[in-house]
Chain A
Amino acid sequence: MANAPAGGITPTHDTGTRVTQVFGTLAALGVAWLCAFGLLFSPADRDQRESVRIMYVHVPSAWVAYLAFGVTAVASALYLLRSSHSLTWDRLAGASAEIGVLFMGVTLVTGMLWGRLSWGVFWTWDARLTLTAFLFVTFLGYLAVRRLGGTQHQRAKRSAVLAMLGVLEIPLVHFSVRLWRSLHQDATVARIDGDPDLDGLMLFSLFVGLIAFTLLYVWLVIHRQRALVLEDALDDHGLDAALVERRAEAALQGGGR
């Protein structure tokens, strides 16, 4: 995808390519299918009635948040462990964490709406809810740490350590409903016995949501990772310009003595 620059002379490229167009189109189609199945075609639940429709956006949002934080941790480990210490892994980690925070945030909000209908309250200090909020805050902190000063490699090292610690909370969040007496229901699909507690159109609608949101994640993470490349390139150019300016000043001062 080409954009005309401010000067309007040389075309420049933004973060879109054929790959992002394909993922973006598939994600948009997936979201349209999700809305059709989630809001119209899937039946109401016997116990939860119409409020079960929130599940088709709540569960996929939580899944993408887990996936995003997992990718952040793996990319962080690859940055630290590989001898090249490539900033590509660091940017992938940062991009994925930002999108994970977005999806974790909407998971919390949709969970509150669903909780109001199921339990009568928006929030309760239940183990699953509290740990999910803690995971959200941990990765918000991760994003804050990425914005501290220093070089790009200093940023990468300190945030990688935090990501690898933060991701350890995910199994705790997922199994919290079994470890403690939780108000939150047990896993519906990712069950230990491998037998989903949903059938027919409801299970299909949930899988449509999982696929659509995974495609959305891939599309967003490619764009965000490329935007981080641009931000780092501008930082480098700014630093180069400042060094040239400083050397010119030093040369002038030296010549004046």
Chain B
Amino acid sequence: MEDAGFVIGSYVVVLGGIAVYAATMISRARRLARRVPDADKPWT
């Protein structure tokens, strides 16, 4: 593929950025969830 570095790099930036954000956010949410009683979680 012509310009493969730029094309694949753009997919890596987008999907990698979203994956890192999602992993960080969900792992923090899990840590917080352990310290909050279920009564304060309207979705449970």
Contact = CB atoms under 8 A, between A and B. Distances in A.
Given A3-B34, A102-B21, A231-B32, A110 B1 contact: no
A113 B10 contact: yes
Contacts of B36: 12, 230, 233-234, 237
Interface of B: 1-4, 6-11, 13-15, 17-18, 21-22, 25-26, 28-30, 32-38, 40-44
B6 A113 contact: yes
Interface in A227-255: 227, 229-231, 233-234, 237
A51 interface: yes
Contacts of A50: 1-4, 7
B7 to A, nearest CB: 5
Q: For B6, B38, B44, which residue has the most chain A Cβ atoms within 10 angstroms?
A: B6
Given A12-B38, A13-B33, A216-B18, A49 B2 contact: yes
A226 B29 contact: yes
A57 interface: yes
A54 B11 CA distance: 7
Given A50-B2, A54-B6, A54-B7, A109 B25 contact: no
B10 A229 contact: no
Nearest to A11: B38
A17 interface: yes
Contact of A224 (B14, B25, B44): B25
A233 B32 CA distance: 10
Interface stretch (A31-39, A128-136, A140-148, A171-179): A31-39
A110 B14 contact: yes
A194 interface: no
B36 to A, nearest CB: 5
Contact of A105 (B4, B9, B17, B43): B17
Contacts of A14: 26, 29-30, 33
B5 to A, nearest CB: 9
